[in-house]
Amino acid sequence: MSAAQSIPPNPPAKKSWGEAAKAYLDRRAIIMLFLGFVAGIPILLIFSSLSLWLREAGIDRSVVTMFSWAALGYSFKFIWAPLVDAVPLPILTRLLGRRRSWILVAQLLIISSICLMASVNPTNEGSLVYMAIGAVLLGFSSATQDIVIDAYRIELAPPSLQSVLSAMYTAGYRLGMIVAGAGALYLADYFGSTEALYSYEAWRNTYWIMAGVMGIGVMTTLVIHEPISSQVRIERKTSDYARLVLVFAISVVGFVLVFANVGPLLPETDSVLFDFLIETVRMVLSLIAAIAVGYALVKANLVEQQVAKTTWIEPIADFFRRYGKKALLLLALIGLYRISDIVAGIISNVFYQDMGFSKTDIANAVKLVGVVMVIAGGFLGGILAQKLRMMQAMMVGAILACVTNLLFVVLTYHPGSLPYMYMAVIFDNLAAGLASAVFIAFLSALTSIRFTAVQYAIFSSLMTLFPKVLGGYSGTIVDNTSYPFFFIFTFAIGLPILLLIYLVDKHIVIGDNDDIYGDDDQGGGDTGGNKLTKVNPNLTDTKEPPRAPE
């Protein structure tokens, strides 16, 4: 690659520290604070809070960690993101706009899912199936909310402000996690459930309150304004949209049937590695079956081929046209960047419990102090992304994310020690917040404004898919080895990421597309002034869109 190609055209001037910090007062950043809050509530009701509920109910640790798979909807949301992007909702889209209407529907589904989970006592025989259904529905509806909020954020402001918006989103997200994490633990304690004396009513009341808190999200959605999108939408007949949804629904049924029936046919082993590989094969076969069903339905003209191609294929083709063969390198980085902290985080609450800490200790350290440090790390990451080149900031985040996992190895030699616990929590969460804010800005820079919801959903789904599948075996890995081995393992799997960042930085230019949004400071209301003021080649329907230099 030539020297000229290694420098993006018209590189933006770096902001001063004061200017970088002042950007957090932008009205669009405040909007993302509130939307981040409601996005952060559901996730812990699937992960840590649910894991503690199930543990208090006497459910085995290996089963508890497998419940994290209920959140795999976050990793497969790219499959239905095209529908969210393309299909208008009757009446609601006309009243609220495309983005706000979908956010509202997702929030109502989240509230229903939480209430469903609250109605299930996991100690009753056969009840775990219903709890799993509620958790999966919560994961699906929460992932749908994320799809639309991510698209809303990218359409709300130009790439130069995305690091700030992502930091504010992360701050709000973590505040939501405080409510659903520490708040849920405090409430469960207050209502009388402990590890020694389990109370279903305490956890039921806790989840009911969490459903009520989501009402804040509904009010937020009704108050904010629809962003002005530069996407050129093709209005289709209602029957076309209905057929698209039908193809998706039938494909999902195919996935479920294959996943349920292939499992008993696969061999059972005592090896964690082989179990993981077998489950991966099961997942891949199910996905292939779903794709095959969808393809057959399209070929059978259940939906017009051009409509299906525009909805599902064109967003992916656009990405590969822009980056060529280098797209695979980008996808590898996206899929592995967060693996170190995601895998370690899935078992974190169970780990703290096994180290002798009470729910109150966990709530104080992890759900309060830890979340504050994540927020601080997010703000620091937003500032670094404005001061450094994107890949330099990515490198800093990746190093910190894997190295801080070694602090948990130290904690295993000091079980029950609050000072060591706080040391590990503070530095680990600071690193996680920084890495997350930088990474969100990175993904936003890769996203074409023509396919906002779909491409970002693909990127964010890929970000969590492999880490979450591997993390589902975290309890089994610990059972067969030890906590020190597990956390050294999570450190080691983060090291190859540094090489990927180096290669991406060396061979790929992450362009700046501020032109498509116009002036950062223009525009009224909550739209952020996202009007087209300049012609951007990425928005034209040319046969060969611009691609990154070789």
pLDDT tens-place string over residues 490-524:
999 999 999 999 999 888 876 544 433 433 333 33
- DSSP per position, 458-515: HHHHHHHHHHHHHHTTHHHHHHHS-HHHHHHHHHHTTTHHHHHHHHHHHH------GG
- Answer yes or no: is pLDDT of 231 > 70: no
User: Cα separation of 34 and 37, whole Å?
Assistant: 5
How confident is the model at residue 383, as a pLDDT?
Answer: 80
- pLDDT category at 526 given cuts 50, 70, 90 is very low
- pLDDT category at 81 given cuts 50, 70, 90 is confident
At what angle are helices 496-507 and 390-403 packed, to 10 degrees? 180
What element of type H or E holds 18?
helix 17-22
User: Which pTM does this prediction carry?
Assistant: 0.70
- pLDDT category at 390 given cuts 50, 70, 90 is confident
- The mean pLDDT of 295-304, rounded to a whole number, is 88
- The mean pLDDT of 426-446, rounded to a whole number, is 88
Quote the mean pLDDT of the chain.
Answer: 80
| Percent of the chain at pLDDT exceeding 70 | 84
How confident is the model at residue 20, as a pLDDT?
Answer: 64
- Answer yes or no: is pLDDT of 10 > 60: no
Which has the closest alpha carbon to 439: 474, 408, 467? 467
Is residue 89 within 8 A of residue 121, CB to CB? The reply is no
- pLDDT category at 343 given cuts 50, 70, 90 is confident
How confident is the model at residue 66, as a pLDDT?
Answer: 67
- pLDDT category at 167 given cuts 50, 70, 90 is confident
Domains of the chain listed by start with CATH number: 17-227+234-539 (1.20.1250.20)
Q: Which two tokens stand for residue 361?
A: 């200790």
**Which pLDDT tens digit goes with each residue over 440-468?**
888 888 888 778 878 888 887 778 777 87
- The mean pLDDT of 324-346, rounded to a whole number, is 88
- Higher-confidence residue: 364 or 212? 212
Q: In this structure, what DSSP letter does residue 324 have?
A: G
- The mean pLDDT of 397-419, rounded to a whole number, is 92
Is residue 432 within 8 A of residue 174, CB to CB? The reply is no
How confident is the model at residue 240, as a pLDDT?
Answer: 76
How confident is the model at residue 513, as a pLDDT?
Answer: 44
CA angle 324/399/512 to nearest 5° reads: 40
Residue 29 to residues 4, 17, 466, 545: CA-CA distances in angstroms?
A: 34, 17, 31, 31
416 sits in the region (left: phi over 0; alpha: psi -120 to 50; else beta) called left
How confident is the model at residue 530, as a pLDDT?
Answer: 34
